[in-house]
Structure 1
Amino acid sequence: MRTTMNKVLVEIFLPAANRSFDVYLPLESQMSEVLQLVSALLSDLSDGKYKATKSAVLCDATSGIIYNINMAVAELGIQNGSKLMLI
């Protein structure tokens, strides 16, 4: 049994609201599932400045590389302190 923590704390920048949010992501979850949950969450937290849509993408905030939604968070190399962007 693994005793490592199964979540990572990341910073997600939301250009539509010009704000960043700290969010815990489960390492084992598929990015497609994480994207839906994060979209809905930030839609609520942004006071309507961001509307969750089916076309939303999560990308690396530094490189702009879009994350593959068919991979798990851990497989993508996302770790504590990673900076993501939701567009």
Structure 2
Amino acid sequence: MNKVLVEIFLPAADQSYDVYIPLESQMSEVLTLVSTLLTDLSNGNFKAMGSEVLCDAETGIIFNINMPVAELGIKNGSKLMLI
């Protein structure tokens, strides 16, 4: 499985987390996995509700959840934000 290491900023916890995400997965699957993971890692500062979005942390552009990660231009070192 091809994976990339990204940094995900979580404003609710004012923390960033390094996370490996699979390139071949749909962004909708990755969003579910990341939301669950950061719920656990944030020590109660964030709770996944199902309405979260992942966006590019630098531009604010929201990623299309219907596309594979590989087609979204996400690569090692990309900075994302979960809101």
Smaller-chain TM-score bracket: over 0.9
Task: Give ranges in structure 2 of 5+ residues lacking alignment.
Answer: none
TM-score by length of 2: 0.98
- Are positions 1:86 and 2:82 aligned together? yes
User: Matches of 2:62 and 2:82 in 1, distance apart?
Assistant: 10
Instruction: Measure how far apart 1:46 and its partner are.
Output: 0.1
**Residues matched between the structures, number:** 83
2:48 is aligned to 52
Q: Whole-Å Cα distance in 2 between the matches of residues 49 and 58 of structure 1?
A: 17
Distance in 2 of aligned mates of 1:12 and 1:61: 8
The residue that corresponds to 2:61 in the other structure is 65
- Which ranges of structure 1 fall in alignment gaps of 5 or more residues? none
Among 63, 73, 80, the alignment partner of 1:77 is 73
CA-based RMSD: 0.8
**Pair member with larger Rg:** 1
TM value normalised by structure 1? 0.94
Give the share of equivalent positions with the same residue, in percent. 78
Which position in structure 2 is the counterpart of 1:27?
A: 23
Which AA in structure 1 matches 2:26?
Q
Give the C-alpha shift of residue 54 in structure 1: 1.2
Q: Which contiguous aligned blocks of 4+ residues in structure 1 show a shift greater than 3 angstroms?
A: none
